[in-house]
Amino acid sequence: MSTTAVPEVAVTAVDEGFWTRNRKIGAVLLALGVLAAVLFGALATDQHARFTLSETEGGAALEINGTVGAILFGLITAASGGALLAGVPKRWFTLLLGAGLVAFVLSFLCWQVSAAPEGRNFMPLVNVVRGTFILALPLIFGALAGVLCERSGVVNVAIEGQLLMGAFSGALFGSMSGSVWVGLAAAAIGGAFISFLLAVFSIRYLVDQVVMGIVLNLLAVGITGFLYERLMQTDAAKYNSAPRFGNWEIPLLSDIPLIGPALFRGNIFLYLGLLLVLVIHLALFRTRWGLRTRSVGEHPTAADTLGVKVLRLRYRNVILAGLVAGVGGASYTLALYSFTKNMIGGKGFIALAALIFGRWSPTGALLAALFFGFADQLATYLGAIGSSIPSQFLAMLPYLATILAVAGLVGKVRAPAADGKPYIKG
Amino acid sequence: MTNPNPASGSPDKEPATEAQESLSEARATPTQPAGDTEQTVPATATAKRPSPAGEARPSMGRMFLDNLWAANTVTVTVLAVLLAMVVGAVLIIVSDPEVLATYGYITARPTDALNASWTVVSEAYANLFKGAIFDPDAVGFTAAMSPISETLTYAAPLVFTGLSVALAFRGGLFNIGAQGQATIGVILAAVAGFALPLPPVVHLLVALIAGALGGALWGFIPGILKARAGAHEVINTIMLNYVAVYFLTWIVVQSGVQDPNRADAISKPVDSSAQLPRLLGDDLRVHAGILLAVAATWFIAWLLNRSTLGFELRAVGANPDAARTAGISVTKTYVLVMVFAGMLAGLGGSTMVLGTTATALTPLVIAQIGFDGILVALLGRVKPWGVLLAALLFGALQAGGNRMQSYSGISLELVTVLQALIVIFIAAPALVKTIFQLRAARAARLQTSLAKGW
């Protein structure tokens, strides 16, 4: 399939002459690197920037002089940009781009950490890694829900609503039954309820899927907000005090430095989320169901002629997606907080961004979700050390990154060809 | 009668056919004034439909009765509102523990349950009506006009955002970014409203223009990205909504913008010289924003149906490839559509802070007008005058919801549920048709949406 994401628009040919896409990105990277070396290097102080491998200031740490670090990493970014500009083989592209961006972030951190007031000029990496995963968790579940839906050709803009409904019904039924497992099941069903509506209206009644997603988000906000005020606010003890999953420590693995305390002392949702990424990845690319799902998402007519039940598969996948997103919603109410009105607060849309940024693949979605989680965690951290960078601008990062991605500046993004097109058996 | 389209062989039209023909939506509905005649762009779509020309024309009265229970725009809309209110009633009942308790012994004394349900639901909806349209117990001019004034106040910004979304739809684009465009609009309008020392009328005009330009800028970005890079506007507008919100939360706490007397996130108030005049005296909130909204509706109706740009816009919306072949610049049209849509949404945001809803910027100053605008546009069947009516309905629900909340203790969120449900039923006319066993409408064009996937 050679169809681009928006076939009706004439995309002006990018790869012509000297200025290929790789060279343009190399030039941008080079400029960023020089900027980092000069600006961050000048702003950084001679204090040491400490990156400790624990939750506190003490313990083993990586240490570097602030100015030196900022300039050094800036130069690495510039060098990888320069290499791209000079025209290296294409297989080096991802590696160089990744190295350049990581070095840019490190240069930025060297400046920020070294410029922090005395006593706070360290970065506890365990906290940062753990926070990244916790903040990324709803995004992982949401983006996986998106993968399941969109790979079979149904646009899922209702991720926000599915997460919210999952969080709500998890809290409600978890509180009423007093059991986390009942809550978890109810959360999954709550998410599936929204995605069932999405399935019926987009598959049976052929309503535009984006429209339906937007409306379902509002419906979920309305229903949960209404019942929250009527039930949970009047009798929080009965309706909004769900039991919570504790943290499970995995023996041996939890003793690995840095990763151990950050990843293997988490709650069930963390393990479930990572496991689901693996399962869905394998299922999508290694099983019969996966092949059928992808073929229905790319070319339903062809799949139909080969005997795949297109509509039934779409129904099943959309509802599966709702189950996954519902569990993602429960990762809030059955582990961290009690339910509040509109508590997902746009995470569903970042999950959508992660899905697109991750190019509709489970592993890509995981990486994108972690990147967005890291940006979120970084904003919290910079706020804590009294940084001069406004947290709002860091919060914009996921959205801006997605815009750059779909605009074709960071690699081509292509949706499944039949994504959003209802299938009419004819 | 010969049927040129075998797919819709049965007289009861299947939804599939409606979707296939969704490109054109040429039909004046009874809700529309005569001026708003829509023209079909692709002639092929009209030819597809079974033509009633061969039949004998029935009398007007007969036609009216036939249409009353057919799946036409008005009937489906009314029934959709009705269905939504039924679902809303169910929600009210199941969320009221006292009423729910009477259902515990419904087999023994069914009247208890029914009476209790009827009382709580009818009281809630009565308050909804009294808050939105007319309160029979009201004494005096101000009290009697208060519901209408509230309805119009809430409707005004929704007209703008609804028109914004509808205009983009007609150009084949799905503008989910009205929220972000209104946010940037409200920021610029408010800043112009308190930072510039200008005489009364000029100040208001400058503030409105600033708001429109802010929205236009925020519409231009996804427009140019779509035109140049093929980036899907749905994704970009969603992302830009959040960028705008974070920008707003940042700018309200900057010195020069934040109210120096306040510690919380609120800006300086807009000067009185930049405020829209009130229409019915100082006690009623309705302001000139609703007049601007009507003017904007008229202008967009003219633009769409009478101007060259409108023709090109609809041509591109119906079939970009055909439009390009015909010599229309698709890229230019996409950019212009988004700029106009952004401008409208920016004006909608401006009326929030220059009118009576708020006097200063806060992070939540424009509430949900952008997202509600999507619903309004769909409910209004993406036609300008339809959008105006839909916005009035939503404004009425909002105004009535406030009263319902304070008098009956029914959360305002119920209004959100009702609004979403109404649009769901509108968007799936086949469902409403099935539930009420409606006749297929004569040449009804009920499919509203025009966007295409990613």
In a domain, A16, yes or no: no
In a domain, B78, yes or no: no
pLDDT at B35 over 70: no
pLDDT at B14: 38
Flag whether the pTM goes above 0.90. Answer: no
The domain boundary, picked from A57, A86, A115, lies at A115
In a domain, B72, yes or no: no
From A8, A209, A415, residue closest to B320, measured CB to CB: A8
In a domain, B369, yes or no: yes
User: Measured between CA atoms, how close is B186 to chain A, in angstroms?
Assistant: 18
By C-alpha distance, the chain A residue nearest B169 is A211
Residue A195 lies in domain: 126-406
Domain of B242, CATH number, reads 1.10.3470
In a domain, B438, yes or no: no
pLDDT at B22 over 50: no
Q: What's the rounded Cα separation, in Å, for the pair B342 and B215?
A: 4
The domain boundary, picked from A55, A84, A115, lies at A115
Region B175-184: what's the mean pLDDT?
94
User: Does A225 contact B411 at a Cβ distance shorter than 8 Å?
Assistant: yes
Chain A contact set for B428 (CB, 8 A) = 201, 205, 207
Which neighbouring-strand residues pair with A68? none
pLDDT at B71: 67
The domain boundary, picked from A55, A90, A115, lies at A115
In a domain, A7, yes or no: no
pLDDT band at B97 (very low <50, low <70, confident <90, very high): confident
Question: Do A111 and A174 reside in the same domain of the chain?
Answer: no
Question: Do A393 and A326 reside in the same domain of the chain?
Answer: yes
By C-alpha distance, the chain A residue nearest B251 is A392
pLDDT band at B441 (very low <50, low <70, confident <90, very high): low
In a domain, B148, yes or no: no
Question: Do A133 and A229 reside in the same domain of the chain?
Answer: yes
Question: Do A175 and A280 reside in the same domain of the chain?
Answer: yes
* Other Cβ atoms within 10 Å of B202 Cβ, number: 12
Question: Do A34 and A137 reside in the same domain of the chain?
Answer: no
In a domain, A418, yes or no: no
Question: Do A26 and A66 reside in the same domain of the chain?
Answer: yes
What confidence tens digit (pLDDT) does each residue in A365-393 have?
999 999 889 888 888 888 888 777 888 88
By C-alpha distance, the chain B residue nearest A394 is B246
> For the sheet containing A61-65, what is the strand order?
A61-65, A48-52, A122-124
What confidence tens digit (pLDDT) does each residue in B272-300 have?
899 999 998 888 899 999 999 999 999 99
From B15, B334, B452, residue closest to A206, measured CB to CB: B15
Nearest Cα neighbor of B137 from B398, B410, B129 is: B129
pLDDT at A16: 55
Question: Do A248 and A355 reside in the same domain of the chain?
Answer: yes
User: Does A9 contact B226 at a Cβ distance shorter than 8 Å?
Assistant: yes
Question: Do A162 and A104 reside in the same domain of the chain?
Answer: no
Q: Which of residues 226-285 of A touch B (CB under 8 A)?
A: 226-231
Nearest Cα neighbor of B352 from B161, B201, B222, B216 is: B161
Question: Do A333 and A359 reside in the same domain of the chain?
Answer: yes
User: Does A210 contact B174 at a Cβ distance shorter than 8 Å?
Assistant: yes
Q: What's the rounded Cα separation, in Å, for the pair A85 and A94?
A: 14
User: Measured between CA atoms, how close is A59 to chain B, in angstroms?
Assistant: 37
Cβ atoms of B353 and B186 within 8 Å: the answer is yes
Question: Do A26 and A97 reside in the same domain of the chain?
Answer: yes
From B96, B235, B321, residue closest to A8, measured CB to CB: B321
By C-alpha distance, the chain B residue nearest A424 is B16
Who's near B189: CB < 8 A, 6+ residues apart?
A: B207, B208, B210, B211, B214, B346, B349, B350, B353, B354
In a domain, A233, yes or no: yes
Q: Which of residues 374-403 of A touch B (CB under 8 A)?
A: 390, 392-393, 395-396, 399-400, 402-403
In a domain, B449, yes or no: no
Question: Do A134 and A96 reside in the same domain of the chain?
Answer: no
Question: Do A186 and A280 reside in the same domain of the chain?
Answer: yes
What CA dihedral angle connects A221, A223, A229 and A230, to 10 degrees? 180
Chain B contact set for A12 (CB, 8 A) = 228
pLDDT band at B34 (very low <50, low <70, confident <90, very high): very low
- CA dihedral sign of residues B253, B259, B264, B269: negative
In a domain, A411, yes or no: no
Average pLDDT for chain A:
86
**Residue by residue, what is the 3-state secondary structure of A196-218?**
HHHHHHHHHCCCCHHHHHHHHHH
From A207, A218, A420, residue closest to B454, measured CB to CB: A420
Q: Is the ipTM of this complex over 0.90?
A: no
Nearest Cα neighbor of B223 from A407, A409, A397 is: A407
How would you label B409-434 residue by residue, b for 16+ Cβ within 10 Å and e otherwise? ebbbbbbbbbbbbbbbbbbbbbbbbe
- A205 shares contact with chain B (CB less than 8 Å): yes
Region B133-157: what's the mean pLDDT?
90
- Number of separate domains in chain A: 2
User: Does B453 contact A226 at a Cβ distance shorter than 8 Å?
Assistant: no
Residue B332 lies in domain: 156-399
The continuous run of DSSP H or E covering A61 comes out as: strand A61-65
In a domain, A394, yes or no: yes
What confidence tens digit (pLDDT) does each residue in B342-394 have?
999 999 999 999 998 888 999 989 888 999 999 999 999 889 999 999 999 99
Q: Which of residues 117-176 of A touch B (CB under 8 A)?
A: 150, 155, 157
What confidence tens digit (pLDDT) does each residue in A212-270 have?
998 999 999 999 999 998 888 888 888 888 899 888 888 888 777 777 777 888 889 99
From A209, A341, A346, residue closest to B242, measured CB to CB: A346
In a domain, A220, yes or no: yes
- Number of separate domains in chain B: 1
Whose tokens are 């988000």? That residue is A217
From B229, B250, B411, residue closest to A390, measured CB to CB: B250
Residue to mutate among A1, A204, A205, A212, with most B CBs inside 10 A, is A205
